[in-house]
Structure 1
Amino acid sequence: MSVKLRCHNVTCTIAFPDEEELPANASAQSLGVRAQKKLLSKLSSKSVAKVFIDDTSGRILDNIHKIARSYTNSKKDADKLLKYIIKTIVKLGILYKNDLFTNNELKLIDDFRNRFHSLCKAVVTFYEVDFTFDRSFLVRVLKECQELTHKIIASHLTQKSHERIDYVFNFFGNLAFLEYAFDPKLDKNRAMVGQIVADMNLLINDGLL
C-alpha cells in the first residue's frame, strides 16, 4: 500500500509494504505518525523547512547556517548541522501535534521552553550590551537544554535522533564557536548575529520563543 502526499510543490510516495505486519494495537493515529516520519525522511531540509517552520525561524536558521559555514569553513558541515536541527524540530513537532507526550514529558517540555527562553534572552543581551558576553552561562544552559531534550524523546525516537541532538548541542556549546560567533571584531559575524537577534526579538515579542 502506498500514499502520495504533496506539500509546497513536493510530491512524495509513502509506502507501506503489503506484507509488513502491523502492531496488534496499531491505530489510525499511529499509522499517521509513521506516515509523517516517512515523509520527513524523503524531503530535503529546505522542503521540510518550508512545510513546518515559519519564515522568521527560517531566517534564523539561515543565518546560523552562514555562521556555522564560516566557522567550520565547510558547507558540508554547516549543511549537516542545519539538517539535524530541522529534523529534530520537525520530529518533536509531529509528536506534539499528535498528542503523544505524557504529562511528565509535557512538564519537561515546559522546563525546556523556560530555559531556552532564558538562553535566547541572554543571546539578545550579549549582542546589544557591550561587555556582557558570558560563555559559561551559554554552555551551562545549552547543556541543560540538551539533557532535557534527551529525556523528552527517550520513549519516542531512535538512538540516531539522540546522536543528532548531541551533535547540535555540542556544536553550539563549543567554547571556540561561541567566542567566534560573538567576537566584536568580526564585522561579518556581528551583522549575522544582529539579524538573528532581530528575528529572536520578533519571536519573543509574539510569545513564540
Structure 2
Amino acid sequence: MAEAGTHVDSKNLALRFEKKIASKMSTKRVANFFIDDTMGDVLDNLSSMVKQYTGSKKDAEKIIKNIIKVTIKIGILYRNDQFNQEELALAENFRKKFRTLIMTFVSFYEVEFSYDRDYLTRLLDGCADMLTQLVQRHLRDKSIGRIDHVFKFFTNSAFMETVFTSDTPLKPHLDKIMVGLNKLIEGGHI
C-alpha cells in the first residue's frame, strides 16, 4: 500500500525504464529493431572502416554502440515529448546542420580535390555542440561522454586525411557508405 502523500508518476517511470533499457542495448539484433536496413548497412560499413583504420574491433564497436545508444535515447526523449520549445528548435537546427554535414561529406567524396578539413571540422564541432546542448538537461554525463567520444574520433585530422586521400585503403567501405548515405538523403531520412 502506498504511503499518504506519495505519488508515482508512471510516465516519468516508464521514460526512465526506456532510457535504462536503451543504455543496456548493445546487440545488433536489438539495434535493428530501431534502425532501418539502410542505416544498418551504413553503420556496419562505418564499423568496418573504423576497424580497418584503427586496427581494433573493440574501438569500432564502441564508436557504433555510442552512436546507436545516443540516437535511441534521443528518439525516446522525442517520442515522450520531453523536449521544450527551445530544445525542439535546437533539434531542428541540429537536423539541418547534420544534413549539411552529410551532404558535404558526400560532396567531398564525390568531387576530387574538394576536401576542406577545416570546414568539415567546423561542421562536426557545431553538430557536437548542438547535440550536447539538446540532451544536456535529459541525459547523464556518460551519454554526453558518448557524444564527445564519437565526434572526437571523426574530427581526428589523421583519420579525415586518410578518408579523403584519393588512394585510401578505406575506399571499399566508403563506397558502400556513400551508397547508403545517398539513399538516406534521397528518402528524406537525413
TM-score (normalizing by structure 2): 0.92
Alignment of 1:13-32 (within 5 A): 26-32=8-14
Aligned to 1:147: 129
Identify if the C-alpha distance between structure 1 residues 153 and 25 changes in structure 2 by more than 3 Å, giving closer, same or farther: farther
Runs of 4+ in 1 over 6 A off after TM superposition: none
> Which of 10, 14, 26 is matched with 1:44 structurally?
26
- Whether the 8 Å contact between 2:38 and 2:184 is mirrored in structure 1 is yes
Identify if the C-alpha distance between structure 1 residues 172 and 26 changes in structure 2 by more than 3 Å, giving closer, same or farther: farther
Q: Does 1:102 align with 2:84?
A: yes
Gap regions ≥5 residues in structure 1: 1-20
Aligned to 2:177: 196
Relative to its length, the structure with more strand (as a share) is 1
User: 1:172 deviation in Å?
Assistant: 0.4
Alpha-carbon RMSD across the aligned residues, in angstroms, is 1.6
User: 1:193 deviation in Å?
Assistant: 1.0
TM-score (normalizing by structure 1): 0.84
Aligned to 1:182: 164
> Which of 96, 100, 111 is matched with 1:129 structurally?
111
User: 1:30 deviation in Å?
Assistant: 1.2
Counterpart-to-counterpart distance in 2, 1:48 and 1:119: 28
Q: Aligned pair count?
A: 186
Aligned to 2:188: 207
> Which of 78, 92, 99 is matched with 1:117 structurally?
99
Counterpart-to-counterpart distance in 2, 1:124 and 1:43: 30
User: 1:110 deviation in Å?
Assistant: 0.7
Gap regions ≥5 residues in structure 2: none
- Aligned partner letter, 1:170: K
Q: Does 1:79 align with 2:66?
A: no
User: 1:25 deviation in Å?
Assistant: 5.9
Counterpart-to-counterpart distance in 2, 1:97 and 1:165: 20
Identify if the C-alpha distance between structure 1 residues 25 and 131 changes in structure 2 by more than 3 Å, giving closer, same or farther: farther
SS at match of 1:207: coil
Identify if the C-alpha distance between structure 1 residues 85 and 28 changes in structure 2 by more than 3 Å, giving closer, same or farther: same
Counterpart-to-counterpart distance in 2, 1:32 and 1:47: 22
Cα offsets for 1:137-159 (capped at 9, x unmatched): 11000000010011101110001
- Flag the structure with more relative contact order, 1 or 2, with Cα contacts below 8 A and sequence separation at least 6: 2
Aligned to 1:164: 146
- Aligned partner letter, 1:89: T
Counterpart-to-counterpart distance in 2, 1:164 and 1:104: 23
